[in-house]
Amino acid sequence: MNLLTSDRFKLRYLEAADASAKYLNWLNSGVSEFILNKPESNSGLVAYIEEQLADKDVYFYGIFTLDTDEHIGNIKFIIKGKSRDCVEMGILIGEKAWHGKGVAKEVIECFASHAKQQLGITKMQLGVDSANTAAVSAYYKIGFKVVDDGRNDGGLSMLWEF
């Protein structure tokens, strides 16, 4: 599953060469306000990408437009649990021009379809800051539901069974 495609996007594993100034800028701007533990330098970003690639339980994709191959964001899935039927998900749409255009829904559903067929994954979970209302709304539209896991940090835990 190194390359997945949807109607408008392709998801491909990120590589060290993708550690661009543009990508680093996303991490130092308001679009990454809710992302924790961000690399702060190009070398840190390269190391982070290489660390993700080395972990067999991580699927770390760049989101690229099909028509122009523009890198507009990233999405990461980590296989969780002994049954290996669930992934934890995180997403960053770095390019503001793509905010509010259904990118998250399209790429999350794209991965879910392939993951269910090829890996037997049937659940996706995530944590989201409740103040990130755009993300919370997008997750509800996909089918995520809030679950109580005892969080008391202002965040929501959400689960989607597909």
pLDDT digits (tens, 9 = 90+) for 11-31: 999 999 999 999 999 998 888
Into how many domains does the chain fold?
1
pTM (2 d.p.) = 0.92
Residue 9, domain extent: 3-161
pLDDT at 149: 83
pLDDT digits (tens, 9 = 90+) for 62-117: 999 999 999 999 999 999 988 999 999 999 999 999 999 999 999 999 999 999 99
Backbone phi and psi for residue 92, each to the nearest 5 degrees, phi listed first: -135, 115
Give the CATH number, domain containing residue 23: 3.40.630.30
Contacts of 153 (CB under 8 A, 6+ apart): none
126 pLDDT exceeds 90? yes
Residue type, 114: H
